[in-house]
Copies of this chain bind each other. A is one copy, B any other.
Amino acid sequence: MAQKNKLQFIILGLLNQQPLTGYDLTKAFDHEIGEFWQAQHSQIYPQLKRLEAQGLITHEVMISGEKLEKKLYHITETGQASLTTWITTGTPELTATKDEFILKLYFVRTNRDPRLPEMLTEQLRLHAEKLQHLQARLTTVFPTKASQTENFGHYLILQHALGRENYYVGWLQQTLAALPSES
């Protein structure tokens, strides 16, 4: 069932928190939400038009300075209903993680393949960096116990991503250590 256009729900979810322009939404994908989902402005602007045509959002035109027009989008009640339905409806399909490194590994036939140490070491470096980055994010975005329950979902997924990277790093270290010594 492909992707079933998840972007529309991300936009609805973000607009449900506060009115935003297309530009604001684009920036959101460069920062916070970009940690686990990406979208470019060339995808966002047409999607906004479609959502508005469906009556899920509306916009008002704001003027910046002399004449620069920006469109501030608001979610409608219909939009909120659509968002709620999406969140409430079950998510019975586990999306396969298309990890290119894992794919390459599949075609390595023996544990004596001379490329293995280098391949694993590179991934170890990358995932250790990601782990560090997530650790820093978690402590800056959620410094206190109280802040964690304020934006609970965001806290959960950051913490989940951290745990996942932690597992990945451990697995890479173990696998590297278990390789037969080069000889």
A positions within 8 Å CB-CB of B: 3, 6, 9-10, 13, 16, 33, 35-38, 83, 86-88, 90-111, 113, 115, 119, 122-123, 126-127, 130, 149-154, 156-157, 160, 163-164, 167-168, 171, 175
Contacts and interface: CB of A to CB of B under 8 A. Distances in A.
Given A87-B115, A122-B91, A102 B152 contact: no
B95 A97 contact: yes
Contact of A153 (B16, B107, B157): B107
19 contacts: A6-B100, A35-B96, A36-B102, A83-B107, A86-B104, A87-B119, A91-B119, A91-B123, A92-B122, A97-B164, A105-B153, A105-B156, A105-B157, A108-B156, A109-B151, A109-B153, A111-B149, A111-B152, A113-B152
A111 B156 CA distance: 10
B175 A90 contact: no
B96 A37 contact: yes
B88 A115 contact: yes
Nearest to A38: B96
Nearest to A179: B152
Given A97-B97, A164-B164, 20 more contacts: A10-B103, A13-B106, A13-B107, A36-B96, A36-B103, A37-B98, A87-B107, A87-B108, A90-B122, A92-B122, A93-B100, A94-B130, A105-B157, A106-B153, A106-B154, A109-B151, A111-B149, A111-B152, A156-B175, A164-B167
Contacts of A93: 100
A110 B147 CA distance: 11
A10 B107 CA distance: 9
Contact of A91 (B101, B149, B150, B153): B101
A5 to B, nearest CB: 11
